[in-house]
């Protein structure tokens, strides 16, 4: 036990010996890891990346603090070979994410592209909601912002498709397999449909024509920073929920203004 504690003290002494330069270095490493995790969030590579980081950290600590006390060169050799294997597997597993990252880096005008993407997404949403309202087809669309809605996405059916008015209208068409409950949008992608949302207390809702969709919109926006659009099946009225509050009778111009300001 004393040897193990001595190793920890020696390691901390070496770290302190680097001086203040180690602080920005550690901050930079942390920012890179955070950026990678944020970039992979919601993709199949997210859990794999977390597992690889966990293996690297645990392996390095074990080799440094434990194996270093005993002549276990073979174990260290096998671990080094294992790391090479993990690197090869990671390159193959992260191929879609790497390609997506390179495409983003290669864009000539990143901010302009992001602005155009946002404008297109809002346009498709408004078109879909307006036509659903005219046809009096009930719908509830949740737009994810900074607070991740992964726990709710897991309750629905994964879609992972670009936001288009045609797709949204098709999903909410009565009789289709996904028309019930909610759709969740992340960026310019529809990530899930038929998502079950938490309901707000009925006592906190006033007004006629407000049902389970409106309670779900208020419920999901109470516990997150999401924005939710609701189309009433009975009246065709379009409502917008934010911060647990419901704004009714949102016309097209108001919706465009509100979505553009909130999502930007």
Hey, which CATH number is domain 110-263, 3.40.50.2300, 3.40.1700.10, 2.60.40.10, 3.40.630.30?
3.40.1700.10
Helix (H) or strand (E) holding 251: none
Residue 85 CA from chain centroid, whole number:
29
pLDDT in tens, 90-112: 667 666 666 666 555 554 454 44
What pLDDT band is residue 157 in, cutting at 50, 70 and 90? very high
| Sheet with 238-242: strands ordered across | 157-162, 189-195, 182-186, 139-144, 227-231, 238-242, 245-247
The ranges assigned to domains in the chain are 2-103, 110-263
Mean pLDDT value of segment 146-150: 85
Read off the pTM: 0.58
List, for residues 172-199, the tens digit of each pLDDT value.
999 899 988 999 999 889 999 999 998 8
Residue among 132, 127, 3 at smallest CA distance from 65: 3
CB 125 within 8 A of CB 168: yes
């Amino acid at each position: 036990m004393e040897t193990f504690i001595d190793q920890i003290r020696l390691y901390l002494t070496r770290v302190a010996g680097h001086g203040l330069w180690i602080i920005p270095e550690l901050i930079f490493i942390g920012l890179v890891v955070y950026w990678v995790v944020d970039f992979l969030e919601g993709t199949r590579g997210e859990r794999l990346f977390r597992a690889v980081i966990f293996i690297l950290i645990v392996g390095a600590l074990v080799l440094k603090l434990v194996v270093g006390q005993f002549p276990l060169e073979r174990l260290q050799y096998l671990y080094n070979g294992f790391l090479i294997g993990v690197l090869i597997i990671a390159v193959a597993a992260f191929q879609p994410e790497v390609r997506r990252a390179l495409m983003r880096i290669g864009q000539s005008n990143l901010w302009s592209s992001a602005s155009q993407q946002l404008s297109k997404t809002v346009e498709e949403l408004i078109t879909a909601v307006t036509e659903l309202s005219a046809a009096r087809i009930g719908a509830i669309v949740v737009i994810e912002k900074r607070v991740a809605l992964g726990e709710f996405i897991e309750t629905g059916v994964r879609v992972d498709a670009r936001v288009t008015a045609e797709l949204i209208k098709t999903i909410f068409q009565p009789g289709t397999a996904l028309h019930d409950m909610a759709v969740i949008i992340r960026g310019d992608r529809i990530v899930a449909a038929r998502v079950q949302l938490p309901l707000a207390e009925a006592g906190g809702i006033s007004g006629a024509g407000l049902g389970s969709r409106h309670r779900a919109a208020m419920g999901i926006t109470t516990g997150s920073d999401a924005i939710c659009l609701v189309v009433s099946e009975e009246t065709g009225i379009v409502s917008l929920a934010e911060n647990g509050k419901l704004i009714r009778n949102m016309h097209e111009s108001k919706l465009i203004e509100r979505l553009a300001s909130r999502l930007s």
